[in-house]
Structure 1
Amino acid sequence: MTTPLIELRDICKAYGGFGTPRVDVLRGISVRIHPGEFVAIVGASGSGKSTLMNILGCLDRPTRGSYHFAGMDVAELGNDELAWLRREAFGFVFQGYHLIPSGSALENVEMPAIYAGIPAQERQVRAAALLDRLGLASRTANRPHQLSGGQQQRVSIARALMNGGHIILADEPTGALDSHSGKEVMALLDELASQGHVIILITHDRDVAARAHRVIEIRDGLMISDSADQRDGAARHPGLQADDLRQRLGQGAQLRGAWKGELVEALQAAWRIMWINRFRTALTLLGIVIGVASVVVMLAVGEGSKRQVMAQMAAFGSNILYLNGKPATLGEPAGTVTLDDVAAIGQLPQVKHVMPVIGEKLMVRQNNTSQMFYVGGNNTWFEDIFNWPVVEGSFFSQADEAGAAAVAVIGQKVRERMLGDHANPIGQYLLIGNVPFQVIGILAGKGASSGDQDSDGRIVVPYSAAAIRLFGHRDPDYITIAARDSAQVNGTEAAIDHLLRQRHQGRHDFELTNDAALIQAEARTQSSLSLMLGAIAAISLLVGGIGVMNIMLMTVRERTREIGIRMATGARQRDIMRQFLSEAVMLSMVGGLSGIVLALVVGAGLMLADIAVAFALPAMLGAFTCAVITGIVFGFMPARKAARLDPVKALTSE
């Protein structure tokens, strides 16, 4: 005697209990099925034959008794090993066809091979060959609703044969078909039986059962007759031996398959579902799109405002350090900063520009007009340090500085009050003190930085001219220093302090001041504002994530039968989880990308409206990453719920 391929020993199955009425569906079924047999299990509706098929196909477990497959106790097999059996040993043909509506005929047939880790090209060729063999070569791209009942059943048979289909479990395969289609399906089963496949046919039709070599009748959960001699059946069609299947199970159940192929299929299926339900998908994505767009736009507006304010502050010199002498101790005269100090400071890597300044308010005359204005001697870095361009004429040159040229660049208020009568002030002369200076440029209007200090009421002349022609000394009143990095003003100040202590023999007879505290406070304020705006916008992203979870829970409910079909064709729990988690992540990714595009469009509109906007790549990547994480977090629970569904309940769901 060969080892039975399938052996049931006193199998019982009951439902209910724990406060609900107990229903005994199977009450002690014992049967052996050998390789190569064509067996029909016949019985009236409610006799327990479908429950028996589910137990035979490892979709369900018995309440009592033992099921040995190829000599192994099925109760001792883990979930992955049971999935391997459904994928490699069994092929299911259901009365209701149980095809996935969103997939084509070819994709439905391919499904068991995907979970078996067969490469895409190989499984496509095999699936196409099976459909061609069953007369569906021209229907490979059709979806189930585009096929007749007989064609759908043939697709179901092709799927059952995809991984070999050593044991075909056919549950009422002709029940939903017309007589002609029913005859075609039975002819196919006869052909498969003649080729050595084990055929287990579940039917209530005795004429259909008569096509089998062996008929087992059950009634009210009991086996009342078995027509065939099992040994004769085994001898007629030896087929696949139990020892071979047992060896393959020991090897194959440990394999993980081609996870890349499974992931690609999961993503393709996810995209297909999204496209089929695109209106619902669009509504679901709305929360993610608005959330991501809000985060990106809010952060861009905050960063733009911050940069604008910082630029405005820099225009008033708030990123500049000022150096002047002071008494080292009480009662001593103030120290002196020299032009040699200026040259030394200019060599520091933290310093961008350094400019000595000498100046005071002097009487300025032009014809019969006279008024006091601040006159300062500066070098040619004036425009760069103060970010203060000339709008008419030009600034004085290095040659003017070297030659102590009597030229002047005046502010807007000086022009208005002293040269208002002249259409072209360039080339006019102003008497500063008692020295005539020619006007060569007009500074841009800058206004008041604070209080009544008006920056436009000043005159700029070459430092050498001021020292020689106006004030009579070379040493500067103070030094203006522009830090190379406006965010590192304090570090620049420390470097200058260290240098001057060395040059002044350790005496602290100088004073350094800057507006870094003002800059930092403004930066902190703007950063806090940006963070607040981003947090408010992130709420939209959270709401979008809840929407994803809600729609995924609904999707699991709608596609419960699909989950059962996938499990029946060999999908493991992790395959089901990957499928639905992939859909949630894809939803979030599409929503994230759409949100970034929307943010860029909105940002362009804001720029056209002269609103400061500064998009940052880290902000966009961060928002997109948050969207993907949202999909993973909120998609995990629905995916886990789908993976934990009972295969039988999933298959029988409406």
Structure 2
Amino acid sequence: MAEPLIRLEGIRKSYPAGDTPVEVLHGLTLTIEAGEFVAIMGSSGSGKSTLMHILGCLDRPSEGRYWLAGRDVGALDHQALAWLRREMFGFVFQSYHLIGTANAWENVALPAIYAGLSRDQRQQRAEQLLTDLGLADRLGHRPNQLSGGQQQRVSIARALMNGGRVILADEPTGALDSVSGKAVMAQLADLAARGHTVILITHDAEVAGHADRIIELRDGEIIGDRRQRPARDHRPMPTLTPPRESALPDAAEVRESVVMALRSLRANWLRTLLTLLGIVIGVSAVVAMLAIGQGAKHDVVTRIGDMGTNLLTVRPDRGRRHSADGVTATLVPDDAIALAKLEHVKAAVPEIANSVTARANGKDASTTVRGVSADFPLLKDWQPVSGQFFNRHDALSYAPVAVIGQTVQQSLFADSDPLGQFILLNNVPFQVIGVMDAQGATGWGDDQDDAVFVPLTTGQLRLFGQSFLRSITIAVDDTANMDQVENDATDLLQQRHGEQDYRVFNMASLLDAVSATQNTLTMLLGSIAAISLLVGGIGVMNIMLVSVTERIHEIGIRMATGARQRNILQQFLTEAVVVSALGGIIGVLLGVAVGLLLQLFGMPILFSVPVMIAAFLCAAVIGLVFGFAPALKAARLNPVEALSNE
């Protein structure tokens, strides 16, 4: 004899109930041919719905064997069972089981999403099916805008979307009035006439009377199997060969997941907004705080860099020798001459500085006079904006010449040209031969332009009354040679002085130390912001768990229409990633806005595009990581239990 479409042998189904499981089906044996219209009838609790769930691969039997088109269903994995529900079966439920956020044609098209049809193909076929069922004017209506009979016709169209070779109808008229119920039964009879295998689950003998064959259940056993009409011609046996499917989604699946995720997020916009808030705060905090940290670092480094990163400064050790007037007597001008002869040294500039009262044009001002050598502009890369700096001949001839800073010019000469005029420094006349370019404040707030520069020799003779230096600043030709020059300078001075009565300060080392400190502070700020982002991720997980709990019924509908576990996992993961990515985008924009606002108040801010990209990617990854557990929980739900959760 030919193999029947459905063959059950010794099917038992038990459910846990305390220490003793409750058996609902007691060893059923049954065959159904392709193309039959069969009614499985029984009272409530007879096991007919449980049998339908097993027939439709929504549930597995506890014992027994189930063959479908010659294939042992018990040997199939979750993916193959999903393929059967998608390609072989079409479900028509008593309570319709439509997704409330989707309209009529979108509900009908649901199985085709998991079959891989394009949106245009799905919409065209769904609209055609609904039109054939008399719902052409209800395509865009949502379930709550349709009557019970219309909703049931939508569920019938959904059952036929992928072909529906076997229609499983569970009490399809139970929630309908008599007129709508007769219409639905007429449509099922028409499907049977067109070659579909129709299995009707009902407790109503009148409804069962529409079928060709009635199988009666009582207490989980078959007590009757009679034929009311002659057997129909056997239809061709379908070939069941589940395809080998990739474990990874294709681009079309990802697009559909994003569309469904956006629809779901829009349907629960308030919850979505609250979820976004945690991610937005975290990402904006990362962007703004790191911008503040980087800005502060850049500001400090720039200030130190303005002083010269290729400089070594030699200062007297204040704990060492002192002259009779209390001046630290260690460094002398000849030390600077000797240091200038070292390898890799561009210049070695000695300096003495003192506060003086400067007078000119009937005005006076307190300022600082700095006795330096002619190499000072080379050392600092600081040139006169007008006139010239004094030269070595001026120093050797003890010339009473001076170069003034911008602040001194404004205080004493206002708008007049100071070149050639005389300035009294502690009542000693010096002729102004140049005005230095504006430099602004130092890193510690001193005004660099409030100074008068004179030859060191002239200053020692006429102003300072001392031969010992405040410092010697060494310019190195390349920062790579800083350590070598520092060691050579230390050795030279040790030889000249016989003891270490000086200290050498390396500006490059200072810059490195300050940079390291600023990096630490930046990381601290970033860590605080990252904690905010982590808290936002925990919020995403919490909301997704709530979403899964609220949408268990929807998950059951999707599984009944052929969704794989991968599809469910992918959908909820996509929702988590989409909401986190949206939060990331808004957070980046908000962080930039906060940074710009702080910049208006004078705070140094430095934005970093890589930081923004990293913050956005972190938000998306957090959605992926924290959304995985809820998505996995959704994917592992039992289809029957999910469907029964209203």
Letter in 2 for 1:206: A
Distance of 1:618 and 1:423 partners within structure 2: 49
Letter in 1 for 2:28: I
Letter in 1 for 2:273: A
Contact 2:368 2:450 in 1 (8 A): no
1:130 and 2:124 are equivalent in the alignment: no
Distance of 2:452 and 2:367 partners within structure 1: 12
Mapping of residues 445-456 of structure 1, within 5 Å: 446=441, 455=448
Q: 1:556 to 1:440 in 2, by over 3 A?
A: closer
RMSD value, Cα: 4.0
Aligned residue for 1:268?
259
- Listed as ranges, the gaps of 5+ residues in structure 2 are 315-333, 464-470, 498-502
Mapping of residues 445-524 of structure 1, within 5 Å: 446=441, 455=448, 458-460=451-453, 481=475, 489=479, 491-493=480-482, 514-524=506-516
1:429 and 2:422 are equivalent in the alignment: yes
Distance of 1:356 and 1:334 partners within structure 2: 9
Contact 1:304 1:614 in 2 (8 A): yes
Which residue among 380, 404, 409 is the counterpart of 2:403? Answer: 409
Mapping of residues 393-408 of structure 1, within 5 Å: 394-396=385-387
Letter in 1 for 2:256: E
Distance of 1:508 and 1:196 partners within structure 2: 112
Which residue among 233, 236, 239 is the counterpart of 1:237? Answer: 233
Q: 1:135 to 1:588 in 2, by over 3 A?
A: same
Contact 2:93 2:171 in 1 (8 A): yes
The alpha-carbon deviation at position 24 of structure 1 amounts to: 2.2
Letter in 1 for 2:381: I
Which residue among 623, 626, 632 is the counterpart of 2:624? Answer: 632
1:592 and 2:581 are equivalent in the alignment: no
Deviations 1:577-609 (A, max 9, x none): 111111111111111111111111211211122
1:561 and 2:556 are equivalent in the alignment: no
Distance of 1:499 and 1:38 partners within structure 2: 103
The alpha-carbon deviation at position 360 of structure 1 amounts to: 5.5
The alpha-carbon deviation at position 429 of structure 1 amounts to: 3.0
Deviations 1:390-412 (A, max 9, x none): 7xxx34469x9899999853136
Q: 1:338 to 1:593 in 2, by over 3 A?
A: same
Distance of 1:449 and 1:628 partners within structure 2: 43
Mapping of residues 377-388 of structure 1, within 5 Å: 377-378=373-374, 385=381
The alpha-carbon deviation at position 18 of structure 1 amounts to: 5.1
Q: 1:118 to 1:228 in 2, by over 3 A?
A: same
Aligned residue for 1:321?
311
Distance of 2:542 and 2:409 partners within structure 1: 69
Identity of aligned residues (%): 46
Aligned residue for 1:310?
301
Aligned residue for 1:82?
81
Contact 2:313 2:506 in 1 (8 A): no
Contact 1:6 1:69 in 2 (8 A): yes
The alpha-carbon deviation at position 62 of structure 1 amounts to: 1.2
Aligned residue for 2:433?
438
Q: 1:216 to 1:462 in 2, by over 3 A?
A: farther
The alpha-carbon deviation at position 527 of structure 1 amounts to: 1.6
Counterpart secondary structure, 1:300: helix
Letter in 1 for 2:452: I
Letter in 2 for 1:194: A
Deviations 1:343-377 (A, max 9, x none): x87xxxxxxxx667476669998679999832435
Mapping of residues 538-557 of structure 1, within 5 Å: 538-557=530-549
Which residue among 275, 278, 284 is the counterpart of 2:275? Answer: 284
Mapping of residues 191-270 of structure 1, within 5 Å: 191-228=190-227, 233=231, 236-241=232-237, 244-246=238-240, 248-249=241-242, 252=243, 254=245, 259-270=250-261
Contact 2:37 2:199 in 1 (8 A): yes
Contact 2:310 2:482 in 1 (8 A): no
Contact 1:5 1:71 in 2 (8 A): yes
Mapping of residues 60-139 of structure 1, within 5 Å: 60-139=59-138
Please report the TM-score for the alignment, with normalisation by the length of structure 1: 0.81
Aligned residue for 1:59?
58
Q: 1:574 to 1:257 in 2, by over 3 A?
A: closer
Aligned residue for 2:369?
373
Q: 1:258 to 1:584 in 2, by over 3 A?
A: closer
Deviations 1:508-562 (A, max 9, x none): 99x9853223222222222211211221222221211111111111111111011
Distance of 1:574 and 1:372 partners within structure 2: 77
Distance of 1:529 and 1:372 partners within structure 2: 36
Aligned residue for 2:317?
none
Contact 2:290 2:526 in 1 (8 A): yes
- Listed as ranges, the gaps of 5+ residues in structure 1 are 325-332, 346-353, 471-476
The alpha-carbon deviation at position 218 of structure 1 amounts to: 1.0
> Which range moved further: 526-535 or 50-59?
526-535
> Which range moved further: 617-626 or 405-414?
405-414
Q: 1:204 to 1:133 in 2, by over 3 A?
A: same
Please report the TM-score for the alignment, with normalisation by the length of structure 2: 0.82
Aligned residue for 1:327?
none
In the alignment of these two chains, the number of paired residues is 603
Distance of 1:114 and 1:205 partners within structure 2: 35
Counterpart secondary structure, 1:75: helix
Deviations 1:389-436 (A, max 9, x none): 97xxx34469x98999998531367558xx737663633334798873
The alpha-carbon deviation at position 23 of structure 1 amounts to: 2.2
The alpha-carbon deviation at position 446 of structure 1 amounts to: 3.5
Letter in 1 for 2:135: L
